[in-house]
Structure 1
Amino acid sequence: MEIDDVELIAKCQAGSVEAFEKLALKYEKQVYTIAYRFMGSHEDACDLAQEALIKAYKSIERFRGEASFKTWIYHIVANVCRDELRRRKKGQLVSLDAPIFTEEGEINRQAEDWTYAPEIVYENKEKQELIQKVLNSLTPEYKEVLVMREIQGFSYEEIAETLECSLGTVKSRLNRARKAMKETLLAKREHFVEGSRLIR
């Protein structure tokens, strides 16, 4: 773990809000990127990235350094996104654009401004949009292992532990997911496959 992270985490656990703000600033773009890959929507990614950072802040006292802070917070954003996708699958989705009702009336939700987030100003936006479109076409199981392995950089063991399945299942899903994504990309835009960081 980076020395800066260790110091900031210690300060966070001692009650420093400023220290957590520095950690959040350091990792917010990566957190957003993961949320975007899971959700495929800028608005959803903004809201869920923010929710993940809030969850991380509230649970920072339980962080024990058994994994890097990056891995820990990536687990949090992945869980937030999976929970949201499960809610949607069950038909219990509340629109992120819907107002919040309070005793004083309606309050419109406001997403944080991510104008300069990596997926918005990415060097090759067209290729990224194509990759995201293909990701969205995959089954949830395939999409999940691809994001965790290729975007989050989790090991096979970490994925298996998180998804509560065997290493064999993880490897099988990942191989099938890569094959499905490669075939779809080849069918759509063959020249976009070359150099894609999701296809190795």
Structure 2
Amino acid sequence: VYNVCLRMLGERAAAEDATQDAFIAAYRALGRFRGGSFRAWLLRIAANACYDELRRRRRRPLPLEAAAAVAAPSHGSPLQSYLQGELAAEIQRGLLRLPPDQRLALVLRDVEGLSYEEIARASGSSLGTVKSRIARGRARLREHLMAAGFSPSGASEEG
């Protein structure tokens, strides 16, 4: 849940708050859980908490330092570590520029590994809508990365 919130919001403190809000809301709504995938139900609540936060802040831009802090640590040579960190930070910046519905679908599929059906349940959308959001989100993210100097293979074209 925290990872989804972090990818949706891009800031650790906001992700922690949204995660807490999601678990409180899930606890209060546990009696209304109608079966099915508990994970999808919980991620739907987390997504709603993130949407609430995005509405509250009116999608103010994320400072570059915050996007870089979300980047995953890497192993290998210093150059590989640097390039992986740069790519991870640029992916996070690109994710934050996507519409929230596309961002959620991409995070749930490519980061959390949910099936299309689970994403449809978690987002309250049809299967076709989920597939469309993922395809459009990936295309926009690819365009963002290429504009930032990263080739489709993931290697930086800079320097």
TM-score between the two structures when normalised by the length of structure 2: 0.67
Change (3 A) 1:86 1:60: same
**Equivalent residue for 2:17, pick from 27, 31, 47:** 47
TM-fit CA distance, 1:146: 1.1
The one-letter amino acid paired with 1:41 is E
TM-fit CA distance, 1:44: 0.8
2:141 aligned with 1:181? yes
**Equivalent residue for 2:45, pick from 76, 79, 82:** 76
Tell me the C-alpha RMSD between the 2 structures. Answer: 3.1
Alpha-carbon distance in structure 1 between the residues aligned to 2:40 and 2:121: 13
Contact 1:33 1:119 in 2 (8 A): no
Alpha-carbon distance in structure 2 between the residues aligned to 1:172 and 1:32: 25
Change (3 A) 1:78 1:193: farther
Partner of 1:27: none
Deviations 1:130-155 (A, max 9, x none): 21111111222322221222223333
TM-fit CA distance, 1:192: 8.3
Query: How many residues matched?
Result: 138
Deviations 1:131-183 (A, max 9, x none): 11111112223222212222233332333344444322222221111011012
TM-fit CA distance, 1:191: 5.5
Larger RCO of the pair (alpha carbons < 8 Å, separation 6+): 2
**Equivalent residue for 2:73, pick from 86, 102, 122:** 122
Deviations 1:71-94 (A, max 9, x none): 3332221121122223444x9x9x
Which consecutive residues of structure 2, in runs of 5 or more, have no partner in the other structure? 61-68, 75-83
**Equivalent residue for 2:54, pick from 66, 76, 85:** 85
Which consecutive residues of structure 1, in runs of 5 or more, have no partner in the other structure? 1-30, 94-117, 196-200
Larger radius of gyration: 1
Alpha-carbon distance in structure 2 between the residues aligned to 1:76 and 1:163: 9
TM-fit CA distance, 1:34: 0.8
